[in-house]
Amino acid sequence: MLMLIRDNIPHFPPLHINDDQYEFSRQFLLFDEVRKMGYGELKIRSYDVQTHRARVEDLERRCEVGPSKRVVLFTDTMGDPICRIRNSPVYKMLIAELGSEVVGVIQGSIKLATVHKPPKNLARLGYVLGLRIAPLHRRKGIGLELVLELEKWFIANDVDYSYMATEKDNEASVNLFVKKLGYAKFRTPAILVNPVDRRALRLSPKTEVAKLKIEEAEFLYRKLMTSTEFFPDDIGSILRNRLSLGTWVAYQRGESGDGFGSDGKFPSSWAMLSVWNSGELFKLRLGKAPLSCLIFSKISRLIDKIFPCFKLSAIPDFFSPFGFYFMYGLHLEGPSSGKLVGDLCQFVHNMATKTRDCKVIVTEVGGKEMLRLHNIPYWKSLSCPEDLWCIKAMKNEENTILQLPKTPPTTTSLFVDPREV
């Protein structure tokens, strides 16, 4: 087990900043954060399931997940703190300890994916996620130390870029990554969340939905989406994972035969997406919401139970742990493809009604421009219209990293890896 013991003044990595004044300010901030810690020796270790699992689960219970100005979600990892990264090709979890108390955790994963930069489009990407700091130990530099240690692991594994995602209004996270660690704001995709009604929805009789074989889906993704930002090179492994429920295409009835797209011919309009059962990994629970929301939720379910003939949509019970489906790999072509996306979403909803604890369907698309193109149903109160992705070069490629956030997306889509949800 790797064990790194921090001194009172940590070793700072060399900073490659042309502005001397900014460099001095940044060094001072790093030093000041650690100096304020004042709780003895901070130890950063690799996660060990036997030693740390119970204490990490306790930390998760004490940490809120979600934007404080809206609803707050709690996660239930079902006894596996590294469940969110376990399906990634390479992953690591670090633990921060003060004495016998676990005061912080962070997770990271590494993959090969598309990043549009010369002279090549493939890069090794390190994803930072799951940063948790105990409420009583925040603003003491612990999160800073955990990220720096994880970045060392990225560098040792030849990572080109490190990236992370956070809520756009999460000031603490933005300050840490952008102002102190030098990450650049990259993209602002939208996270869309839609509740699952227990009743099946009626699909248009003019639309046909077909499930693709894994080989067919991989062929189409590689043919059509390899230029999509963050498209994973190991897409085949994702599609073959037990949590990937399948890939479906929707098109006008009668416009396609067997072997969809295998001959290079496609319907005039069509749409495609895949579904990942995230509820098999961890559960969610609504931890904070207005009293009116709780009352309305209970009343709607009561009315639905007493008067089913009204066919009113009852609000699911979000206050008990629940699972969710994640839709990924969205691709569409043709003038009527937006409507076909809506049909696919209805189809996935009907799938979810057959999964006992699946209460929401989630997807993430490449920003507000995607919302104008698609008929993806979602609840505004549960969704995040502008998630914030930030990126940082791990190989001192300052010029390239400064250009990336300013470069408009080459496509309107952004591939969100379901293993990183």
pLDDT-derived band at 204, boundaries 50, 70, 90: very high
Closest residue by Cα to residue 163 from 388, 12, 369: 388
Tens digit of pLDDT for each residue in 23-73? 435 444 544 454 444 556 899 999 999 999 999 998 988 886 544 455 566
Tens digit of pLDDT for each residue in 309-337? 444 455 677 778 899 999 999 999 999 99
Question: Is the pLDDT confidence value at 306 over 70?
Answer: no
Spell 249-278 as b/e; 16+ CB within 10 A means b. Answer: bbbbeeebeeebbeeeebbebbbbbbbbbb
Report whether 390 contacts 186 (CB < 8 A). Answer: yes
Q: What percent of the chain has a predicted confidence (pLDDT) above 70?
A: 74
pLDDT of residue 73: 67
Report the pLDDT averaged over residues 210-215.
96
Q: What percent of the chain has a predicted confidence (pLDDT) above 90?
A: 56
pLDDT of residue 34: 46
Tens digit of pLDDT for each residue in 8-26? 333 334 444 444 445 435 4
What's the sign of the alpha-carbon dihedral 288, 291, 296, 297? positive
pLDDT of residue 227: 87
Tens digit of pLDDT for each residue in 363-411? 998 865 565 556 899 988 788 888 899 999 998 765 555 556 555 554 4
- The single-letter DSSP state of residue 40 is S
Neighbouring residues of 7: CB distance < 8 A, sequence distance ≥ 6: none
pLDDT-derived band at 296, boundaries 50, 70, 90: very low
Closest residue by Cα to residue 323 from 42, 83, 17: 83
- Domains in the chain, ordered, with CATH? 31-188+387-393 (3.40.630.30), 193-281+322-373 (3.40.630)
Highest mean pLDDT among 70-74, 158-162, 302-306, 379-383: 158-162
pTM for this one?
0.83
Count of H helices and E strands in the chain? 10, 16
Tens digit of pLDDT for each residue in 218-249? 999 999 999 888 999 999 999 999 999 999 99
HEC letters along 234-295: CHHHHHHCCCEEEEEEEEECCCCCCCCCCCCCCCCCEEEEEEEEHHHCCEEEEEECCHHHHH
Tens digit of pLDDT for each residue in 75-122? 788 889 999 999 999 999 999 999 889 999 999 999 999 987 655 689
Average pLDDT, the chain: 81
Neighbouring residues of 177: CB distance < 8 A, sequence distance ≥ 6: 147, 164, 166, 183, 390, 392
Return the beta strands (E) in 148-269 as ranges. 161-167, 184-187, 190-195, 207-212, 244-252
Which residues is 251 bridged to in the sheet? Answer: 208, 270
pLDDT of residue 9: 31
Closest residue by Cα to residue 389 from 371, 409, 374: 409
Return the C-alpha torsion angle 234, 228, 244, 267, nearest 10.
-120
Tens digit of pLDDT for each residue in 276-288? 999 999 998 776 5
